[in-house]
Amino acid sequence: MSTTSKVTTTALSLALVLVGGGGPVRAAGAEGARGGAVAVAVHGGTALVDTATLAVRARTRDGHDRLLSAAAATPLGRPGPVRRGAGGLMRWSYPARGLDVTARADHGRLSLSFGARRDTSLRWPVTGVGVPRSASLQLPRGEGLDIPVADPFWVTGGGRLAGTGLDVGGDLTLPLWGYSAGRHGVSYLVPTDLGTSLALTAAGGRLRATARHDFRRADGTGAYTVTLALSDGNPVAPAADYRAYLAERGRLGSLRAKFRRTPAARKLLGAFHAYVWGKARTAEGVRRLRALGVDRMWLGYDAGPRPMDARAVAAAKAAGYLVGPYDTFANGQDPRSADSPTSVWPDRVYPDFCVRDADGRPRTGFGGRGCYLSSAAFERAEPTRHYLADRTRAMVRNGADSYFLDVDATGELFRDHSPRHPMTKAEDRAHRLARMRRLTGSGLVLGSETAQAWANKVLVFDHGSATPAADGLWALEKNREEWGGYYPEDAPKAFFKPVRLPAALATAMYDPRYRVPLYGTALHGSTVGVERWELSYAKLPAEKTRRALLAMLYNRPLNYVLNGTESARQGRELAALQRYFAPLHRAAGTERLTSFRWLTADRALQRTVFGDGVLTVTANFGTEARAGLPGGCVDARLRGDDRPRRLCPADVES
């Protein structure tokens, strides 16, 4: 999408029209050495698949001819004949490649599914070929990015993507990507994300994205499906498409339903999030926070030697807060030298439950310590040994009503080669979902790290989906001198030491020209997404205004780390921001994000709408007033408001 265009169609209308598609499928053209053409009616036109090459074109209803995918980058061999199946399915094969293909219409999308008769690979679709220099690539890295394909910063500069690769099942929060140019766009969904990667290259100074799927019987990745859909060019259209896809299949969670099952979860509406340390995790510290006027919070604490005690938890609940421990089921260490209580397990969980690589060696765990523990081993043992249930009971004996389970909802899944507890990545995902579902069923308000879309029905909140973490962040965090280490105990510098991001990293993560709410468009109203826990609001002082505006624009909470000193120093600022946010989130937190627009050519003025106008938010990321809104400020209007509610974060006392 060019920076001069304005998006006029809401994400809601995108989702609705995509749901209403479908249509007849027909085959045309002669089969043989050159293959044939398979035509599928899609919303907005007709998609044509060249069976000889897997190139896909679309003839739109307004008379345009658009390339949705260039020819496969993998040699396919001569295709077999096209045959019509039940329900309008079209089938053919590539015998030399060992692939069978099915094409069909899926709610207005073109859906291509591949089954492999043997281990092989396929590089397809090949996207971004022939797009104009004004086009943009949408990537769900964290909350989401809209990247102009010819922007030097992203092609060869500080945010360079050309020459890099992304694991669709591991590095992206949603299994999709998209392209847009003006009022035209394409959405690519990959339901079979495991075994699929996305290679980013540059041709003619423009970014291209080529998917690759590895068909491995032993890995459980023998099937591959991609759907392609036309859109109106709105940058969040691929996420609206994915939300519709989830809803069509009953895979879209609902905060309202979660609140009915777990009434305490309703306390998340209007709440900011904070990990507390030192005096802030005492009953007195909690009461001081409440006395500042902070009426909703999620408070978390680590599993160190001094967690929140029963008195502190009771004070938090009396204040209207949710409170819970940090835990992980993914790491095991020798109990005699473990650096965290969460890594200590009874019996011989360590080392017997260690994930094993193909050579039989244990997979090294967090920070080079211990090993990653196999979810298959836990699932096999749980009916009789109750390791996970016993751990959870011990962790919430103080009365905690929430639980943060690190890692389980991320894309870091494992193939376990241990003969005692083998598993594929798909099985690892299924085991994690099962144990998270048990935690939710026990009445705990469950959160996890990053929270990829497949976990949206079992989680209520996450820490990480709102952060488009660029690669340079991990290198910076490993620099203890610059970033800070895990000491002193009541204020670890890794959390409390202010840091200024290098310019390129700040641009890649927080420049509003490139930020779009893909994750929110897909899952707002299903989960509550927050930034990563090590990136508290005060950790990056230079980014505070942009981060506050993004949080309000996307209707999601800010996160903090607090101890006695920081509660006193930041308390008034936190209270002022939370008081502004609370009524907005209480009204719209359960609604879907229905519209996202850039209101100016430079993308400085942006607007979102939630529900059917329940909440409208306009943010000015510039330095000058636009449409009556000062630079660095946000206006929010709830339905029924006589005038907008204004917040200028830089003016809030800290």
The 3-class secondary structure across 440-480, one letter per residue, is HHCCCEEEEECCCHHHCCCCCEEECCCCCCCHHHHHHHHCH
Residue 506: pLDDT band by 50, 70, 90 thresholds?
Answer: very high
Residue 654: pLDDT band by 50, 70, 90 thresholds?
Answer: low
Contact 424, 219 (CB under 8 A): yes
pTM: 0.94
Q: What is the mean pLDDT of residues 433-459?
A: 97
pLDDT of residue 31 exceeding 80, the answer is no
**Least confident span in 5-9, 127-131, 255-259, 562-566:** 5-9
pLDDT of residue 28 exceeding 50, the answer is no
d(CA 4, CA 594): 22
Rg (CA), the chain: 25
Of 404, 345, 396, the C-alpha closest to 370 is: 345
Residue 18: pLDDT band by 50, 70, 90 thresholds?
Answer: very low
Q: What is the mean pLDDT of residues 563-586?
A: 95
Contact 519, 529 (CB under 8 A): yes
Tell which CATH classification among 3.90.1530, 3.40.50, 2.60.40, 3.20.20 matches the domain 255-330+373-596. Answer: 3.20.20
DSSP-derived secondary structure letter, 344: -
Question: How would you class 34 by CB atoms within 10 Å of its CB: exposed for 0-12, middle for 13-18, buried for 19 or more?
Answer: middle
d(CA 25, CA 116): 23
Q: What sign does the CA torsion over 582, 585, 588, 589 have?
A: negative
Q: What is the pLDDT of residue 653?
A: 67
596 vs 19: which has the higher pLDDT: 596
Tens of pLDDT along 99-154?
A: 999 999 999 999 999 999 999 999 999 999 999 999 999 999 999 999 999 999 99
Q: What is the pLDDT of residue 503?
A: 98
DSSP string, 514-530: TB--HHHHHHBTTBEEE
Please report, for the chain, the start and end positions of each structural domain, with discontinuous segments joined by +.
11-248, 255-330+373-596, 597-651
Write the CA distances from 572 to 292, 503, 563, 653, integer angstroms: 7, 29, 14, 7
Q: What is the pLDDT of residue 367?
A: 87
Q: What is the pLDDT of residue 4?
A: 33
Tens of pLDDT along 528-542?
A: 999 999 999 999 999
Beta-carbon count within 10 A of 317 CB: 17
User: How do 176-181 and 461-463 pair as beta strands?
Assistant: unpaired
Mean pLDDT of the chain: 93
Tens of pLDDT along 355-399?
A: 999 999 999 998 899 999 999 999 999 999 999 999 999 999 999
Tokens read off for 401: 């009503």
Write the CA distances from 98 to 76, 84, 114, 118, integer angstroms: 9, 20, 10, 6
DSSP-derived secondary structure letter, 329: S
pLDDT of residue 21 exceeding 80, the answer is no
DSSP string, 394-448: HHTTT---EEEESSTTSS----B--TTS-B-HHHHHHHHHHHHHHHHHTT-EEEE
Contact 205, 217 (CB under 8 A): no
pLDDT of residue 318 exceeding 80, the answer is yes
DSSP-derived secondary structure letter, 512: T
For 483: left if phi > 0, alpha if psi spans -120 to 50, otherwise beta; the answer is alpha
Q: What is the pLDDT of residue 35?
A: 58
Q: What is the pLDDT of residue 303?
A: 82
Beta-carbon count within 10 A of 306 CB: 13
Write the CA distances from 383 to 379, 380, 390, integer angstroms: 8, 7, 12
pLDDT of residue 606 exceeding 60, the answer is yes
d(CA 146, CA 422): 39
DSSP string, 565-612: HHHHHHHHHHHHHHHHHHHHHHHHTTS-EEEEEE-STTS-EEEEEETT
Reduced to 3 states, what is the DSSP secondary structure of residue 546?
A: helix
Percent of the chain with pLDDT over 90: 91
pLDDT of residue 24 exceeding 70, the answer is no
- In CATH, 11-248 is 2.70.98: yes
DSSP string, 357-376: -TTSPBPB-GGG-SEEBPHH
Tens of pLDDT along 264-315?
A: 999 999 999 999 999 999 999 999 999 999 999 999 999 888 899 999 999 9
Tens of pLDDT along 164-211?
A: 999 999 999 999 999 999 999 999 999 999 999 999 999 999 999 999
Q: What is the pLDDT of residue 2?
A: 34
Cis-peptide into 351, omega within 30 deg: yes
Residue 87: pLDDT band by 50, 70, 90 thresholds?
Answer: confident
